Amino acid sequence: MPRDVSSVLHRVFRELEGPAVEAVKSFLDFLRSQRALSPATVRSYGADLAQWLLFLKDLLGRSRLEMDDLSEASLRRFVFHRHPRLAKSSQARALATYRSFFRFLMERHGLERNPARSLRSPKATVTVPAFLDVDDMSAFLDTLQRRALAPSAPWIAVRDWALFETLYSTGLRVGELVRLNHAHIDMHEGMVRTVGKGAKERIVPIGSKALEAIGCYLSAFRNQWQGPYNQEALFLNARGGRLSDRSVRRLLTERLREAGQWRPLSPHGIRHSFATHLLGSGADLRSIQEMLGHAGLSTTQRYTKVDLDRLMSVYDAAHPRSRKEGP
């Protein structure tokens, strides 16, 4: 199954037919070829549309879906059925999918109006994902380093140190991290080249500690590995293939627990730690935006909430005129 086809969409292509299904296929092809969206984004779009088509199959009692079945009434009924079970962010993403799909049909297939245009997106609540403070992050990475440099340490232990040092040092998305090849890292200049959302290439710095860890990892791998392996990929799994983003999530949970940190944290949480620590040390938002690969500054600005909360806490605790008086 292609990386950008979810299991639910695969089921749609297997069980359903008709012009509506072909329109979805055409739309996803457009996203891949014309808009150059990442496989993960295409997968999300496809999954949202697949859920609607399966709902229509059950509602109408047939597996052939016509274009007329993609009506505003059927979409509203589906949204009323499914969206209360979704987080607000997922609701907003799904509605954006429907609007984009119908805009495509208007431009390419002569649809006269957008049935999703009148649907309101839920008011988003700005949330700041979990992250580690500087001390906890340093303690975590130091634990990985000690294990990696222990006598007779397996190359996988050294890989884990290099993996999470690189993630924290660069602020890459987990998908960007696992797609790194040897050719993407300039060990001499301390730079990493990556391709992010929208197939946009960017160059980000990588610190000396991460470069040291990568060097140790490559040396340990060469000394211990026997057999064929993926010679392009930087981070490899135990079978010599490219490490997957799912494996990185699992490894992070396991290594955090082994280091005595039980707080749930995703690889994206390390990316947030990267940005928050830079901001707290005086880096400007525009530079952080460029390093993170955010298309707009508004996405980066969520990190200011973390830093402002910290500053207000310090101010309230230290300033003699900040005390909140009771009624």
Q: Is the pLDDT of residue 308 over 90?
A: no
Domain presence at residue 129 = no
Q: What is the CATH number of the domain that holds 288?
A: 1.10.443.10
| Residue 12 domain boundaries | 7-109
Q: How many domains does the chain have?
A: 2
Task: Look at residue 310 in the predicted model and tell me its pLDDT.
Answer: 53
Same domain, 222 and 269: yes
Residue that terminates a domain, selected from 43, 76, 109: 109
Domain assignment of residue 310, yes or no: yes
- Is the domain of 46 the same as that of 173? no
Residues 100 and 139 in one domain: no
Residues 226 and 298 in one domain: yes
Flag whether 15 is in a domain: yes
Would the pTM of this model clear 0.85, i.e. be above it? no
pLDDT tens-place string over residues 135-153: 999 999 999 999 999 999 9
Residue where a domain stops, chosen among 109, 143, 158 = 109
Q: Are residues 42 and 92 in the same domain?
A: yes
Does the residue 73 lie in any domain?
yes
Instruction: List pLDDT tens digits, range 156-190.
Output: 999 999 999 999 999 898 999 999 999 999 998 88
User: Is residue 216 domain-shared with residue 297, that is, in the same domain?
Assistant: yes
What is the model's pLDDT at position 149? Answer: 95
Q: Answer whether residue 323 is part of any domain.
A: no
Catalytic residues: 173, 197, 268, 271, 294, 303
Q: What is the pLDDT of residue 319?
A: 47
Question: Same structural domain for residues 162 and 19?
Answer: no
Residue 160, domain member (yes or no) = yes
Q: How confident is the model at residue 302 (pLDDT cuts 50, 70, 90)?
A: low
From 109, 126, 144, give the residue that closes a domain. 109
Residues 265-279: tens digit of each pLDDT: 899 999 888 888 888
Read off the pLDDT band of 121 (50, 70, 90). low
The CATH number of whichever domain residue 11 belongs to comes to 1.10.150
Do 154 and 222 sit in the same domain of this protein?
A: yes
The percent of residues above 90 in pLDDT, for the chain, comes to: 41
Residues 86 and 142 occupy one common structural domain = no
Q: Do residues 195 and 74 share a domain?
A: no
Pair 288, 191 in one domain: yes
Domain assignment present for residue 274? The answer is yes
Q: Are residues 181 and 289 in the same domain?
A: yes
**What's the mean per-residue pLDDT of the chain?**
83
HEC secondary structure over the chain: CCCCCCHHHHHHHHHCECHHHHHHHHHHHHHHHCCCCCHHHHHHHHHHHHHHHHHHHHHHCCCECCHHHCCHHHHHHHHHHHHHHCCHHHHHHHHHHHHHHHHHHHHHHCCCCCCCCCCCCCCCCCCCCCCCCHHHHHHHHHHHHHHHCCCCCCHHHHHHHHHHHHHHHHCCCHHHHHCCEHHHEECCCCEEEEECHHHCEEEEECCHHHHHHHHHHHHHHHHHCCCCCCCCECCECCCCCECCHHHHHHHHHHHHHHCCCCCCCCHHHHHHHHHHHHHHCCCCHHHHHHHHCCCCHHHHCHHHHHHHHHHHHHHHHHCCCCCCCCC
